[in-house]
């Protein structure tokens, strides 16, 4: 949301406000940032990624991601009180993950992996659904309790050991696995969001299939903890059948998909730890 600069000319301010309101009415209202436990948890992960210099500040890849992020955020935003923000991060394994507070991280290699727009949209819809369901918040609170216990135990072994364990646990936060049930629920809510945003919700199922056909050593965290992809697809199929008025118009044939590709070796500029921004 652009900052409204105060002008010395009183006439322009009300006019600008009217123009601004008219523009923002066309979109879902973006909630005002509120700091609470969820945003704090999200900021801890953001800082971790920033310190590791994984967050991409600018890249032509953002141009490819943006239309999907915006369309999906518009539909998902009314269900979550903090603004959704999408960041590209550089990691080897194609992946996407969302943290409490509204940040969604898309690994650059996922943009090279997905074959069509529906697979990318499906992934983003799935991730924002984890945030809406507070899956990450619940898991991180649980993990923090484990961490406290382990750190307390480790202090007996010496402060250096405790420090190492704490760092290891913080590093794991972005990779925590959800239960199969939480995954299926995120698939279902994600399919509703994708359908409303105009993306074929079969895309996530096609992505499962592509990953199954790919080299398993590259299986992303998105799927690797959850081998029961068949169950997830069946749950989705049932949801589509039960809500035929919404879903029957979408083809399950991947041949109907819109191909997606990004420029090879797109340049990436990383956000440095001393830079302000994003969160």
CB of 135 to Zn ion, least distance (A): 8
CB of 18 to Zn ion, least distance (A): 42
Nearer Cβ to Zn ion, position 91 or 183?
A: 183
CB of 192 to Zn ion, least distance (A): 15
Tokens of 43: 């900021």
Other residues' Cβ atoms within 10 Å of the Cβ of residue 141: 14
Nearer Cβ to Zn ion, position 52 or 133?
A: 133
Nearer Cβ to Zn ion, position 46 or 178?
A: 178
CB of 8 to Zn ion, least distance (A): 51
Nearer Cβ to Zn ion, position 54 or 183?
A: 183
Nearer Cβ to Zn ion, position 114 or 154?
A: 114
CB of 86 to Zn ion, least distance (A): 16
Nearer Cβ to Zn ion, position 55 or 124?
A: 124
Under a CB-based contact definition with an 8 Å cutoff, are residues 185 and 129 in contact?
Answer: yes
Q: Binding to Zn ion (CB under 5 A): which residues in 173-232?
A: 183, 186
CB of 73 to Zn ion, least distance (A): 18
Place of tokens 């650059």: 108
The angle formed by the CA atoms of residues 49, 55 and 190, to the nearest 5 degrees, is 90
CB of 155 to Zn ion, least distance (A): 34
CB of 178 to Zn ion, least distance (A): 5
# chain residues binding Zn ion, by CB under 5 A: 2
The string of DSSP codes covering the chain is -------S-TTHHHHHHHHHHHHHHTSPPPPPP--SHHHHHHHHHHHHHHHTT-EEEE-THHHHHHHHHHHHHHHHGGG-SS--EEEEE--SS--EEE-TTSEEEEEHHHHHH--BHHHHHHHHHHHHHHHHTTHHHHHHHHHHHHHHHHHHHHHTT-HHHHHHHHHHHHHHGGGPPPPHHHHHHHHHHHHHHHHHHT--TTHHHHHHHHHHHS-GGG--HHHHT---HHHHHHHHHHHHHHTHHHHTTS---GGGSPB----TT---EEPPTT-----
Nearer Cβ to Zn ion, position 225 or 268?
A: 225
Q: Binding to Zn ion (CB under 5 A): which residues in 137-176?
A: none
Close Cβ partners of 150 (under 8 Å, ≥ 6 residues apart): 165, 169
Q: Binding to Zn ion (CB under 5 A): which residues in 10-39?
A: none
Nearer Cβ to Zn ion, position 88 or 124?
A: 124
Q: Binding to Zn ion (CB under 5 A): which residues in 77-106?
A: none
Contact residues toward Zn ion (CB under 5 A) are 183, 186
């Amino acid at each position: 949301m652009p900052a409204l600069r105060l002008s010395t000319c009183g006439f322009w301010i009300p006019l600008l406000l009217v123009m601004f309101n008219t523009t923002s009415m066309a979109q879902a209202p973006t909630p005002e940032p509120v700091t609470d436990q969820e945003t704090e948890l999200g900021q801890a992960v953001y800082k971790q990624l920033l310190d590791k210099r994984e967050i991409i500040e600018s890249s032509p890849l953002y141009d490819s991601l943006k239309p999907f992020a915006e369309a999906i955020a518009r539909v998902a935003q009314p269900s979550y009180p903090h603004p959704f923000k999408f960041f590209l991060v550089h990691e080897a394994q194609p992946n996407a993950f969302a943290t409490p507070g509204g940040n969604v991280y898309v690994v650059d290699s996922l943009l090279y992996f997905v074959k069509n727009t529906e697979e990318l949209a499906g992934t983003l819809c799935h991730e924002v659904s984890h945030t809406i369901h507070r899956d990450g918040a619940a898991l991180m609170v649980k993990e923090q309790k484990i961490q406290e216990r382990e750190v307390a135990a480790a202090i007996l072994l010496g402060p250096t050991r405790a420090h190492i364990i704490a760092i290891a646990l913080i590093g794991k936060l972005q990779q925590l696995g959800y239960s199969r049930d939480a995954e299926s629920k995120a698939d279902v809510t994600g399919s509703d969001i994708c359908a409303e945003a105009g993306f074929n919700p079969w895309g996530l199922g096609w992505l499962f299939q592509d990953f199954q056909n790919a080299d398993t050593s590259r299986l992303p965290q998105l799927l690797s903890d959850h081998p029961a992809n068949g169950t997830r697809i069946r749950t989705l199929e049932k949801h589509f059948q039960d809500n035929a008025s919404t879903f029957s118009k979408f083809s399950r044939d991947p041949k109907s998909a819109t191909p997606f590709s990004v420029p090879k070796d797109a340049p990436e500029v990383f956000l440095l730890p001393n830079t302000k921004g994003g969160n």
